[in-house]
Structures are given as structure tokens and as C-alpha cells.
Structure 1
Amino acid sequence: MAIGLDVTKPPEPETPEEYDYETCPFYGELPVRGQVRTVVVEREYEVKVPKYDRYMKRRSKIPAHVPGVLEPLSVGDDVKIAETRPLSKTKSHVVVEVTGGEE
């Protein structure tokens, strides 16, 4: 396994000739490094603004690549992502495990 984390390996891709091995940390050669985060990809929280004595909403987002063997993911799923080499202009993380979902 190309990653050095304590995660279970997903099943092999069903169509290996069409699978994108270049961006897969499980069956390809994509190394992961640095921090490992367990996140919901978008988080909304409130911050108090002392000047107006009110709260305002803020969001934080981390774009992450989802390998084909972890599909399908749905809105509200909790995932574990790991830092990797830049995959595009904004993506430097890859999903390595689905930890739960919306109940």
C-alpha cells in the first residue's frame, strides 16, 4: 500500500483498464505525507462580532480528491483526508477513508 496510515484498503477497481491509477493512494503510486485530518468537507460555524454584538456565519472548505474505489459518497458523509502532492490548482488532499455518514 502506498500510504503509511492505519486505514483499511478498499476493494480493487472493477474495471482496471479504465481506472485512474495516477491519482489513487491505494492502488497507484500517489504518496501521501504530512497531516491527516478527519473532516466534513464543509463546516459552517458562528463567530461573534464584538462591534455589533452579533454573530456572523463562516465556512471552511478543504477540496479533496476522491479515488474511484471509494465512490459513491453522498452529502453529509464524514471522511478522513490526507495531504498529498498538488493534484490541481486547489486540491492537495485525497480521501483515504469514509468514517461515517449523516444519520
Structure 2
Amino acid sequence: MALGLNVQEPEETCTDQNCPFHGELSVRGQTLDGAVASTDMEKTVVVEREYDVKVPKYDRFMKRRSRIPAHAPDCLDLAEGDTVTIAECRPLSKTKSHVVVGVVADEQGGDN
């Protein structure tokens, strides 16, 4: 099933109704990239994005971050530190309106 996004369908299958690949959830609107900050909840991950905001008074930039709760389908194996792509969908709960559609890269690997 094609989502209309430039993401690869996972090899694993799942029975999650809210999976954009194997269920009936349609995606629409914006897609965002971010790092998985928390996997403590069931079927939900918190994706954290950092961006710069210009402060006109000082003519400098300051860092801001937003934390977006997103649905994690069973077919995607997600861990903290993974860089993922999330897409907007219908509201799934009070705070969740995004779903993870792909893993961009794993940030784990070595200690620096």
C-alpha cells in the first residue's frame, strides 16, 4: 500500500488497526523528522525536534525544541535515539495526532 510518502514499507507485518501500512489509518498533512526521546508508553513514542528561533533584539538565534507524541505501530522496532519520520493523521487520542512512518537512521552504535 502506497502512502504517497518517500518511505519504505517495513518487512514485518502487524495487526494494528492504526498502522498506516497494514491497518486502516490514512496519513495527511505535514511530515516531520526527529529523534525518539521516550519509548515508555505502550504503542506511543515521544519524538523531539530541535529548531532555531531568531531573537531580533540580540540579532542571534536560540534553540527551541518541541516534543510530539506519535503512535508507534507494532511492525516498526523503535528505540530511544532513533531518527524517525512522522506523519500527521487523524486524532488518535487526546494528545496523539501523528504516526511514525519510517526510521531514517539509528543514532546508536558507538560511544564518543
TM-score of the superposed pair, with normalisation by structure 1: 0.74
Q: Does 1:78 align with 2:101?
A: no
Q: What is aligned with 2:8?
A: 8
Instruction: Answer 1 or 2: which has greater strand percent.
Output: 2
Q: Which runs of 5+ in 2 are unaligned?
A: 36-46
Q: Which has the larger radius of gyration?
A: 1
Change (3 A) 1:74 1:86: same
Deviations for 1:4-45, whole angstroms, at most 9, x for unmatched residues?
A: 2121111242xx6xx22x200001111000111111212467
Query: Map of 1:46-85 to 2, 5 A cutoff?
Result: 59-71=65-77, 73-85=78-90
Partner amino acid for 2:80? V
Equivalent pair of 1:2/1:31 in contact (CA under 8 Å): no
Q: 1:85 to 1:45 in 2, by over 3 A?
A: closer
Q: Which runs of no fewer than 5 residues in structure 1 stay unpaired?
A: 51-55
**Does the 8 Å CA contact 1:25/1:32 hold for their aligned counterparts?**
yes
- 2:83 paired with 1:88: no
For 1:10-29, list aligned pairs within 5 A: 10-13=10-13, 19-20=15-16, 22-29=17-24
Contact 2:90 2:97 in 1 (8 A): yes
Quote the sequence identity (%): 62
Counterpart AA for 2:68 = I
Distance in 2 of aligned mates of 1:7 and 1:77: 15
SS class of match (2:86):
strand
Q: In proportion to residue count, which structure has more helix?
A: 1
Q: TM-score, normalised by structure 2?
A: 0.69
Instruction: Classify the secondary structure of the residue corresponding to 2:32.
Output: strand
**Structure 1: distance between partners of 2:70 and 2:18:** 11
